[in-house]
Structure 1
Amino acid sequence: MTLLADLLSTVFERRYRREASEGAEDGRPLTEMATALVGSAGETSGLALAREILTRFGALDDDEKLAFFRNIASTMNLDPETVRATLDAYEESPSKATYRAFAAAAEPARQEFVRRLNRVPGATGSLVEMRADLLRLGGKEPELQALDLDFRHLFASWFNRGFLVLRPISWESPAHILEKIIAYEAVHAIDSWDDLRRRLEPTDRRCFAFFHPSMPDEPLIFVEVALTKGTPGSVQALLAEDRDALPAEAADTAVFYSISNCQAGLASISFGNSLIKQVAADLSAELSGLSTFVTLSPIPGLTKWLDQVGLTWNTDAPEHMQALAAHYLLNAKSRGDLPFDPVARFHLGNGAIVHAVHADADVSDKGRAQSGGTMVNYLYDLPRIAQNHENFANTREVVATPDVQSLAGLVTLPTTEER
């Protein structure tokens, strides 16, 4: 059945391409074509129209793209009066018909527009790029932020965990995939092919990525893993050129030392939680000796926060740096009483705890600039992840080991007059 489905899909796709290529180019303005697509009833004509919209949109400059987004946001918006009327009708007489009417009124036409664009084979990646343009150009315009919520709503369904495929990335993976791993690495830059090889080929190194069936050559997010004995406290030591590889069977710890989102157009679509849990489960099944799952994570908001509260650091005093970092991770808050640090929000929200803080852990220029070289281990205690996640979601409590709590207690914030 799968082979037959593939053959039929190929036949229909070739037929569609032939019919589309034989058709005359649509000379209407792009916004008029968008309106026509939403009202289109014919499948073949709709596919041709959607393909041309995607092609022409890709050729627009930034000003033209912004004008297109603004037009879609306004002309395909909700009609508040219709929404209110259909909601009143449903409230007065709940039924299949009144609910259908309300559901139709409560969904803006631009969602159906995006769905119809996605009917074109291979269009999902183009729509991800379209949303990246929207995020880049839309700024704080309320109407465009609302339009983005429509993209997010659709993408949350199209890219849910059930559709994602976890693939190991190795030195034997196709070159075009390896090139993208180099390009998308966002935490610890990969300087060369030799550097990439050191992260993929040794027996104590792993890399995993999520892919989507509609974007088989585009990683969505990937994690780099080091298999070690004990918990590491230096990324330079972890990635040293002259280190001796450890037999995988001898490792007791899996270290997630770099997690990189690859697609700007999938911002706020969360994959990291599922990725870490799936990789931890797979590694546990492969290597029975693994008992500890930790990160070695940057602390990107530390320098900014220290400046805000008037604290100074002394990189020549390791315990002082550790104490500042520990206090920051446990006590610095942003909106909603969430941790100030974005990486902390991510891992604590996933059910991890603050395990250990290390000074001189990242002595690169980037590491020094963002956190004075400090890094943190977040511990993923697999049996307790779900409970930790629930506690953090309900109380915002930052759970940490006694050692980290003791370090945090060494710091006293200056008063307003002292700043």
Structure 2
Amino acid sequence: MNTAEWISRSVSRLLPAAGSRQKTTLAPVEFTQDATYKEANSEVILGGVKPKPTAAAQSPAPAAASTGARQTCRSLPERLAGSLRRKDEAMSPRLLRRTLTDLQAILDSQVSEVEGGRRASQFANWYGAALPAQRRDCWLLMSEQFAPDPGLVEAARGHYEAAQNTLDAGQAEIGLRRALVSPRSRLLQRFAAFPEGMQFLLDLRSELLPHLKTEKRLLALDGELEHLFSGWFDVAFLELRRISWDSPASLIEKLIKYEAVHDIRDWNDVKNRLDSDRRCYGFFHPQLPNEPLIFVEVALLDKLPCAISPLLDEAAAADDLRKATTAIFYSISSTQTGLRGVSFGDSLIKRVVETLKAEFPRLRTFATLSPIPGFRSWLSKNVGTMLALLDDKARAALGRAVGVEPMGPADFLTAAEQAPTLDATSPVRHFLMQCAAHYLGRELVRGKPLDPVTRFHLGNGARVERLNWGGDPSSKGFNQSYGMMVNYLYDLKRLDRYRAQFANSKLAVSSEIETLGF
């Protein structure tokens, strides 16, 4: 067979029979190193050879499309059954069917896990080069075409209900569980089988998440991924490792890349954070051995700190570890957006506390020095409500300090712009701290703290210990909280009590915070 005949035969497989516009059924395609597919300008490219456009492809668009009228978005089954791609659709029906066939081939129960993983790897290679809109079509296929069989689920549910209080109840429950396991779950497990598969799935979900608000059809796929990740990334399977200056440069570079609380400026900055009086620990997964999932930076001191600047001062001498009594968690950063909803930060802190206590028996205090990321934004919307909580005397004193009587919310917010220059006797400063104490200790949404950092630490059993004026003088700190920071204290003897309080929407705060609030 010469080259021209081979090309002609290959192209003919992609085209519907002459004179027919019925749904085309494609045979399963096995990926090889030399055969890939993609869509460019609505044409299929196979093995790098672009077929000549057909007469149908060269013909003018239908009248409705030429008029510019907006067409109703077709459902996925309608697109799979169609023959022509509409203007706003990423994949043509033919390529959509082919993609579905290849996903089904990955899931084929007659092939081994190894072969299924190989097919998944080949598909992932194509996906990596696909356009964003084409990837969204892949998500829709995974979400809608690999759902549990409704008939099987309904039958299993009926059997389960009928078997209650009988000897068959256990077997009926097993049957219902099996019926609820979707082909989608098994498909995703095949993707996790090849070496880069776990990172592929994490990246896929990371890209998927921003689309959930506008594309509800993707919720099933997202829920499946979150459920699988919750098992795959259970803390029982994670390894706690110390990251030091002696760690590989590629790993230290990831600290610089993923640091989310206090940006790392350069290598001198990161070296300071890994000095002898510091510790950095991360959780690692066996499938991602060189990728920290979350890491925490710790400073070993002799007292509770009130500001971040001394901890980040590269010129400061290292603290004497023989005098260290306090471990301060001053930065906790997650690295994988795809693991949203999978929480292991609390386990990280507990494991780090145990590790530090074994290395430094003199440590007695475990606390954080944390930002208050949502405070300024919240106050700008609620300052009127906060001002209404003041008695007449306090409100008058605040008005005199601001220089406007009677004072309105906008007048106070203008005065608050001078926060870095306010001394300890300033009524404006005192009122800002009152508002911050209220925000941290009493502002709830669905029974949980509004502030995400507060929600994280109090959910782990900490308490709001102390507000620190001017704790973060950077522009970021000012924009978040007028420069204030907070210490959350992990009292190891009261963690369970505080967690129980938190479950009942009662937040643990120190007497200092309680007194400072309204």
| Paired residues of 1:321 and 1:359 also in contact (CA < 8 A) | no
Aligned 8 A contact 1:319 1:359 in 2:
no
Where does 1:317-328 land on structure 2 (aligned, <5 Å)?
A: 317=426, 318-328=429-439
Which amino acid in 2 is paired with 1:72?
M
Contact 1:30 1:56 in 2 (8 A): no
CA distances 1:149-199 after superposition (whole Å, capped 9, x unpaired):
100100000000111011111111100000000000000000000110111
Structural mapping, 1:5-404, within 5 Å: 29-43=98-112, 44-93=114-163, 94-95=168-169, 97-201=171-275, 203-311=276-384, 312=412, 314=416, 315=419, 316=422, 317=426, 318-334=429-445, 336-393=446-503, 395-404=504-513
Instruction: Single out whichever of 237-246 and 189-198 deviates more from structure 2.
Output: 237-246
Q: Which whole-Å CA distance do the structure 2 matches of 1:20 and 1:59 have between them?
A: 15
Residues 16-47 of structure 1: per-residue CA shift (max 9 Å, x gap): xxx98678658683322112222232114323
For residue 320 of structure 1, report the CA deviation from its aligned partner: 3.0
SS in 2 for 1:355: strand
Q: Deviations over 1:308-345 (max 9, x none)?
A: 213545322443332221111011122x1211100000
State whether residues 461 and 499 of structure 2, in contact with CA within 8 Å, keep that contact through their aligned partners in structure 1: yes
Change (3 A) 1:35 1:363: same
- In the TM superposition, what is the alpha-carbon distance from 1:97 to its structure 2 partner? 4.8
SS in 2 for 1:383: coil
Secondary structure, counterpart of 1:309 in structure 2: helix
- What letter corresponds to residue 182 of structure 2 in structure 1? P
Q: Which has the higher contact order (CA 8 A, sep 6+)?
A: 1
Q: Cα deviation per residue 1:136-156 (whole Å; 9 max; x = unaligned)?
A: 333342221221110010000
CA RMSD of aligned residues (A): 1.9
- Residue segments in structure 1 that go unaligned for 5+ positions in a row: 1-18, 410-419
Deviates more, 1:225-234 or 1:26-35: 26-35
Tell me how far 1:101 sits from its aligned partner. 3.0
Q: Is the 8 A contact 1:83 1:102 kept in 2?
A: yes
TM-score normalised per structure 1: 0.88
| Higher mean C-alpha displacement, 262-271 vs 318-327 | 318-327
Q: Is the 8 A contact 2:501 2:508 kept in 1?
A: no
CA–CA distance in structure 1, aligned partners of residues 477 and 206 of structure 2:
28
1:46 and 1:139 mapped to 2: Cα distance? 32
Q: Corresponding residue for 2:92? A: none
Identity value in percent: 39
Gaps of 5+ in 2: 1-29, 38-45, 47-94, 385-411
Deviation at 1:117, TM superposition (A): 1.2
SS at match of 1:382: coil
**1:108, CA displacement in angstroms?**
2.0
Give 1 or 2 for the bigger CA radius of gyration.
2
TM-score w.r.t. structure 2 length?
0.72
